[in-house]
Amino acid sequence: SLPNVQFDYFDCNEHRSLVVRPQGVDAPAILLCGHLDVIEHPQPECYRSHIEEGRIYGPGSGDMKGQNAILVELFRALHKRHPGISLGLALTSDEERGGADGIRFLCEEQNLRCGVVIVPDGGSLNDVTIEEKGVLHARVQCSGQEAHGARPWLGDNALELLVERLQALKQHFQQFWPDADIEEQVNHWFPTCCVTVISTDNTTPNRIPDHAEAILDIRFPPPDSVAGMIATVSEVLGPRCTLEPLMTAEPTHLNPDSLFVEITQEITGQPVRMVRASGGSDGRFFRQYGIPVNLSRPLVGNLHAIDEWIDIASMVTYYQICERYIERKLVGQRDVR
């Protein structure tokens, strides 16, 4: 146990968060931030892990249970070594659903603040993220007229209408794709739209459905905005479709600390790339309050797949980067034990 450390639990819509801070410190100089939730796979038996050839394999290993282990050990070790150090830890349980009940709730409704936050949920070991695309998750609904499948002229097939409008949406976004093969950090900085779910209440083979819906995952860089993207998508879908935003986020500039970049290069001996991410993170909620975000992580792969992995050696390296950064920033030590 660590003396003079306070544990605070917060609940929002059945999502629990934990914030650990030195007693009497509401806004630590540095906050370590992670999320415990992982995406849902249809096969429950896949939630197992194993170690193979220097990697931990299993759902959530790289996004981000491996990083959580690093954050917890950093917090424990540094508080033991430097009692009273202005270092906090926040762990949430809803990042994969958008973070509204986690970091958004903590920052907006519980007034969580810090000087700078470390979020190991993007980039890579030598890739520090400086920008993230905006996000629009939305439900599209179409209505029609049910009828017998043998007499389609008597009905108005909502599912066929939905597919038609989704195809129009695909063609709209296709104009932004480059002609060359897409390479991360080379030519990926353009708006994208994916249909991730499509469904109808109908379960009868010979009935024309009168309702159908789909879920969209749209990502966009600046200068696009949430409001502008909603307007554009609604126009492309047309008047017979309704668009319901489920989760939104504006494009975000993360403003990482130059000292973190410097120490990353010191530890790895390799140049650091400042990169732009197609995905998003909880870092965007901190940026709304002007808090710089250090966003990088160990080597990971196959994220959101059953064979997701994290490289163990790079976990050690990432730990050393954060350890040296925190001690140099808060304690002034240039040499780390």
DSSP string, 31-83: EEEEE------S-GGG---EEETTEEESTTIIIIIHHHHHHHHHHHHHHHHST
Fold of 134-249: Alpha-Beta Plaits (3.30.70)
Fold of 5-132+253-330: Aminopeptidase (3.40.630)
The pLDDT of residue 312 is above 90: yes
Residue-level pLDDT at 336: 42
The pLDDT of residue 185 is above 80: no
What is the overall mean pLDDT for the chain? 95
All structural domains of the chain with their residue ranges: 5-132+253-330, 134-249
Secondary structure (3-state) at 204: coil
For residue range 200-249, what is the model confidence (pLDDT) as tens digits? 999 999 999 999 999 999 999 999 999 999 999 999 999 999 999 999 99
Rounded to 5°, the CA angle 73-79-80 comes to 90
Q: Give DSSP secondary structure letters for 215-228.
A: EEEEEE-TT--HHH
Identical topology for domains 5-132+253-330 and 134-249: no
Type of residue found at 170 = K
Which residues does residue 92 pair with via DSSP β-bridges, in sequence order? 35
Joined together, the tokens standing for residue 145 give: 């007229």
Joined together, the tokens standing for residue 59 give: 């759902």
The pLDDT of residue 335 is above 60: no
Task: Name 133's Cβ contacts closer than 8 Å, sequence gap at least 6.
Answer: 189, 219, 220, 221, 251, 276, 277, 278, 279, 280
- Between CA 245 and CA 235 the distance in angstroms is 14
- Between CA 73 and CA 78 the distance in angstroms is 8
Residue-level pLDDT at 40: 87
Q: What average pLDDT does the segment 128-156 reach?
A: 97
Q: What average pLDDT does the segment 146-157 reach?
A: 96
Secondary structure (3-state) at 163: helix
333 confidence band (pLDDT: 50, 70, 90): low
Residue-level pLDDT at 337: 39
- Between CA 153 and CA 161 the distance in angstroms is 14
- Between CA 106 and CA 120 the distance in angstroms is 18
Torsions phi, psi for 33 (to 5 deg): -130, 125
- Between CA 64 and CA 303 the distance in angstroms is 9
The pLDDT of residue 264 is above 50: yes
